[in-house]
Amino acid sequence: MIYLIKPENNSSVRLLKQKHLDYIQNPQGFPTTKIDWVNLMETQEDKSFPEPLHFVFEPALDGDIVLIRENGEQAVYPASQGQAYISNLFIDENYTWFARVGNEISDTYGFHTDAQAPRMLYVDGISNVRDFGGFATVDGKKVKQGLIYRTSEMDTHVNITEKGKRTLEDELGIKLDVDIRGIKNEPRGPILNQEKVKWVNFPLAAYVDCFTGEQMKLYGESYELLTEQESYPLIIHCWGGIDRTGTWLYILGGMLGVGEDDLGLDYEMSSFSRWGRRCRTSEQFFEFLSGLYKYGDTLQKACVGFMRACGLSDGQLEEIKKLLLE
């Protein structure tokens, strides 16, 4: 007989580390000096990885963990000596699981993952990987998980492993790689298998630099990709996945109706990466918000106004909402 030990049946499990939960309860994004977002420096240990979920069964033999989402999607993970550590589960999701050793199969247990956003992910060889889904909007909807991922670059200053590529291409099913590097001749190029993942490049700027005419044209072209269902799931990245990626997602999230607190939190969660703190009350971020609010007197109106000024129609904005909101 195979006996399941953990996670216990009908349990609730967390996917964030305690340090992440502590920060969410009491953000510590102290104001920072102005960030040179094209020439980042590694300043600290990378703490941007989630808490893997520990699976245990007895007897302690090699086998498989079979994990099933509520929608019926199934994944198989190898277990060594009755144990496996599994990352990248969806938040606020019901799962069932069983263990398999040879031809013998255990009973089935169930568990529910904690609903706390953001959904942090582990991709071998790169940093600062998160799902933009899971945040609530002001009108009671939620941004869908599994459609837009944010991350650091995959080469140049970090190097994604073959295992990491498989996670993006096969496990997460990425269809589009939106590379927003390229300012001041910054290196950029496709890293993932182009037969599976289309690569596009928009050399975007961050913070107040996004409000120039040329930049708004590029922002508009990049946001137009979100109107096409075949773009999803997509991944967007700059160098650290913080400043340019953060600016792009802050505006998108505001248009969708995500609140200031959640968008500020998502921006600051990049402080756990290796490239230093970010803060929603810094002078650099305040200047960005001041520029953004010239397009509207609430966050959502300002983000809608900016995206309209970038060339998107009301119909395109509604299509993006239809695709991204539950």
* Digitized pLDDT (tens) for each residue of the chain, 326 residues in all: 999 999 999 999 999 999 999 999 999 887 778 899 999 988 889 999 999 999 999 999 999 999 999 999 999 999 999 999 999 999 999 999 999 999 999 999 999 999 999 999 999 999 999 999 999 999 999 999 999 999 999 999 999 999 999 999 999 999 999 999 999 889 999 999 999 999 999 999 999 999 999 999 999 999 999 999 999 999 999 999 999 999 999 999 999 999 999 999 999 999 999 998 999 999 999 999 999 999 999 999 999 999 999 999 999 999 999 999 99
pLDDT of residue 274: 93
Class of domain 1-30+51-116: mainly beta
pTM of the model: 0.96
What are the boundaries of each domain within the chain?
Answer: 1-30+51-116, 121-324
Distance CA 265, CA 260 (A): 8
Cβ–Cβ < 8 Å for 174, 153? no
Q: Is the peptide bond before 233 cis (omega within 30 degrees of 0)?
A: yes
Beta strands across the sheet bearing 176-179: 119-120, 130-131, 148-151, 234-237, 176-179, 198-201
pLDDT of residue 102: 96
pLDDT of residue 82: 98
User: For 263-287, what is each residue's pLDDT tens digit?
Assistant: 999 999 999 999 989 999 999 999 9
Distance CA 29, CA 13 (A): 27
> Which of left, alpha, beta for 217 (phi over 0: left; psi -120 to 50: alpha)?
alpha
CATH 3.30.1360.120 fits 121-324, yes or no: no
CA 255 to chain centre: 18
Same fold across 1-30+51-116 and 121-324 = no
Cβ–Cβ < 8 Å for 318, 326? no
CB count, 10 Å around CB of 161? 13
pLDDT of residue 33: 81
